[in-house]
């Protein structure tokens, strides 16, 4: 199910409840919850609203958006704002735009594999029924009801953040690691707001170790 662009009918709390309903459907009592970017916001809400369903949480490239933290890089905002898709049914136009976005977000550590990114975006275009709706996360409301309570999270918490994240600056990850009791911070030097495949081993090993410590 998707909503038309600009008109999502769900809230962040709805999305957190959806995650719990997935656990219910599979008869899973407790789980290790991992979320990146907006998924990290949802993970925080899950940990606060449904603490009895959480074993550990891992928060990747995310934030509680404390007002004292630095904002998104203005040059990045301008660059992304200039990438407009006129026809979402035009595969070539959509894929080229997504490639340009990935180049902006990747960071300096890794070589940009354009052909690999192109294949992934072509597959995404072919799979999606309403691709533009993926941008509805900009319009979802309700995160403020929970994120001022981030320091109340009592689940074992892992923070993973890139030092060159242009969307959610690295300081946001550092902040989470300080306000969530006993949180562990894993720093990805030179990594942007992308899960680059050369970082997968470090990310997977960190999450596996974190979950295995219980």
* Angle between helical axes of 74-81 and 91-105 (0-180°, round to 10): 170
With residues binned 3-state (H G I as helix, E B as strand, rest as coil), the percentages for the chain, rounded to 5, are 50, 10, 40
H helices of the chain, in order, are: 12-25, 38-49, 74-81, 91-105, 114-127, 144-147, 170-179, 200-212
Residue 159: name the closest of 129, 128, 186 by CA. Answer: 186
For the segment 83-98, the average pLDDT, to the nearest whole number, is 92
Average pLDDT over residues 130-148: 82
Q: What's the number of domains the chain is made of?
A: 1
Is the Cβ–Cβ distance between 192 and 164 less than 8 Å? yes
CA distances (Å), 180 to each of 20, 41, 159, 175, in order? 22, 14, 10, 9
Helices 91-105, 114-127: crossing angle, 10 deg rounding: 130
Query: Could you give the CA distance from residue 33 to residue 137 in angstroms, rounded to a whole number?
Result: 19
Q: Considering the chain, what percentage of its residues have pLDDT values greater than 90?
A: 71
Q: Say if residue 1's pLDDT is above 70.
A: no
Taking alpha carbons only, the member of 60, 101, 62 closest to residue 202 is 60
Q: Report pLDDT for 214.
A: 61
Domain extent for 30: 1-214
Look at residue 213 and tell me whether its pLDDT is greater than 80. no
Residue 28, domain CATH:
3.40.50.1820
What's the pTM?
0.91
Main-chain dihedrals φ then ψ at residue 58, nearest 5 degrees: -125, 125
pLDDT, residue 2, reads 78
74 has a pLDDT exceeding 70 = yes
Highest mean pLDDT among 10-14, 77-81, 96-100, 181-185 belongs to: 181-185
């Amino acid at each position: 199910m998707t909503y038309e662009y600009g008109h999502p009918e769900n809230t962040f709390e709805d999305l957190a409840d959806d995650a719990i309903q997935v656990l219910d459907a599979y008869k899973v009592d407790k789980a290790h919850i991992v979320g990146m970017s907006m998924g990290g916001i949802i993970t925080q809400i899950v940990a606060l609203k449904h603490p009895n369903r959480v074993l550990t949480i891992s928060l990747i490239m995310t934030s509680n958006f404390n007002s004292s933290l630095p904002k998104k890089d203005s040059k990045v905002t301008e660059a992304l704002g200039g990438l407009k898709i006129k026809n979402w049914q035009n595969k070539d136009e959509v894929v080229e735009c997504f490639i340009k976005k990935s180049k902006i977000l990747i960071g300096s550590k890794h070589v940009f594999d354009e052909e690999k990114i192109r294949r992934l975006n072509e597959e995404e275009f072919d799979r999606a029924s309403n691709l533009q709706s993926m941008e509805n996360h900009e319009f979802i409301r309700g995160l403020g009801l929970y994120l001022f309570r981030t320091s109340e999270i009592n689940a074992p918490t892992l923070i993973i953040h890139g030092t060159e994240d242009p969307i959610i600056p690295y300081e946001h990850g550092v902040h989470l690691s300080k306000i969530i009791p006993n949180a562990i911070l894993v720093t990805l030097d030179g990594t942007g707001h992308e899960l680059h495949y050369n970082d997968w081993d470090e990310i997977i090993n960190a999450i596996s170790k974190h979950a295995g410590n219980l």
